Amino acid sequence: MPLLSVGSITASSKRLQQDTLANFTDVVAAFSYGENADMVVRKEGIPTNGNGIILSVHNVFQLNESMLSTFRGILSREEFKNYDCSIEFDNNSIVYTIYFGEEIKEKKSFCYNKQLTPYLTNPLLYIGILFIWNPQRYLFFL
Partner 1 sequence: MESTALSVFPVNENKRVVSQFSAISGLEIEDRHVIETIAKRFQEIHKKSIFSSKTLPSRVLLKFFKIDQVSLASLRKINISTHRIKKISIDLVSKNVAVELKRGEPSKQPLTIKKRFPSLAIDTELLKQTITSFLKDNAKMVREEDKRLIRAVLECILRWTWNSVAPEVNCKLVGDNYNFSIKGIQTIALSQLESLCDLGDYVQELNVNLNRKMVHFLVLRTSSYIHDSQVKRRKINA
Q: Which residues bind partner 1 (CB under 8 A)?
A: 1-7, 44-49, 54, 84, 91, 97
- In this structure, how many other beta carbons lie within 10 angstroms of the beta carbon of residue 100? 25
Which residues are bridge partners to 105 per DSSP?
A: none
Within 13 Å, how many C-alpha atoms sit on residue 58's CB side? 7
The CA angle 8-48-89, to the nearest 5 degrees, is 135
Give min distance, CB of 97 to partner 1, in A.
Answer: 7
Specify the residue, 10 or 91, whose C-beta has the smaller distance to partner 1: 91
Specify the residue, 36 or 51, whose C-beta has the smaller distance to partner 1: 51
> Which 3 state secondary structure label does DSSP give 95?
strand
Based on the number of CB atoms within 10 Å of its own CB, is 42 exposed (0-12), middle (13-18) or buried (19 or more)? middle
Give min distance, CB of 7 to partner 1, in A.
Answer: 8
Q: Are 20 and 98 in contact (CB under 8 A)?
A: yes
Nearest residue to 57 (alpha-carbon basis) of 18, 90, 88 = 88
Give min distance, CB of 98 to partner 1, in A.
Answer: 13
Specify the residue, 12 or 48, whose C-beta has the smaller distance to partner 1: 48
Give min distance, CB of 4 to partner 1, in A.
Answer: 5
Give min distance, CB of 18 to partner 1, in A.
Answer: 18
